[in-house]
Amino acid sequence: MKLLETSSDSQVYAGTCGGMMFSVFSNVFVEDLVRTVILAVVGAVVSFIVSLVLKNFIRRKNR
């Protein structure tokens, strides 16, 4: 009868990473994801508007 081989380092690494991801994703709520997406969109829009305003301000100042 053969003894079972021990698992390799890559299997241990994959199992550890997989378990960590499942534990993190189980604690993330849909509300948090929606809030994050909304805040990211608002931040991108505000950044774009501010860059346009500053661009126009610099153009007028250089005339």
Per-residue pLDDT of the chain (63 residues; tens, 9 = 90+): 455 555 567 788 888 888 888 887 777 787 888 899 999 999 999 999 999 999 999 999 888
Residue 6 is predicted with a pLDDT of 58
Does 24 map to a domain? no
Does 15 map to a domain? no
Does 57 map to a domain? yes
Does 4 map to a domain? no
How many domains are there within the chain? 1
Q: Give the domain range for residue 41.
A: 29-63
DSSP 17-58: HHHHHHHHHHT--HHHHHHHHHHHHHHHHHHHHHHHHHHHHH
Does 1 map to a domain? no
Distance CA 59, CA 63 (A): 7
pTM over 0.75: no
